[in-house]
Amino acid sequence: MKKAKAADVQSEVEKLKFLDKDDLRARWRKMFCKEPPPALTKDLLCRMIAWRIQEKFHGGHDKATIKLLDGLARGEAAKLDTSPRLKPGTRLRADTQDRRAARIAASGDARASGY
């Protein structure tokens, strides 16, 4: 079997735009091995099939993302920590117009650096 290339994947996704809803539903059955939900619009069918095509080529979500999405789907509130994490000993540097400041992070929390 021939290995797909990025251009082939992009071409396949582009072709979806020109399929009608019945053709998209047939494509869904082939890709997902089940009937598509009847309420899905043509746009959503197209987007979800495109996602699957790209997922097969590029790979899916990592385990942490899958765990987060599963928790959200179950209604569990997820606390996202968006602050940067630095290893102790990481050198931080800030350059301004007239001076340079350097600090070493003492903990894994970037906010502890004192900038």
pLDDT value for 104: 60
Task: Residue 48: count other Cβ atoms within 10 Å of its Cβ.
Answer: 17
Q: What is the mean pLDDT of residues 11-18?
A: 94
In whole angstroms, how far apart are CA 56 and each of 17, 29, 50, 75, 99? 19, 16, 10, 28, 50
pLDDT value for 69: 86
**Cα separation, 16 vs 89, whole angstroms:** 51
36 CB contacts (<8 Å, ≥6 apart)?
24, 25, 28, 29, 45
Enter the tokens of residue 71: 């928790």
61 CB contacts (<8 Å, ≥6 apart)?
69
State pLDDT tens for residues 55-100: 888 888 888 888 888 888 888 766 666 677 778 877 777 777 776 6
Q: Per-residue pLDDT for 2 more than 90?
A: no
pLDDT value for 23: 95
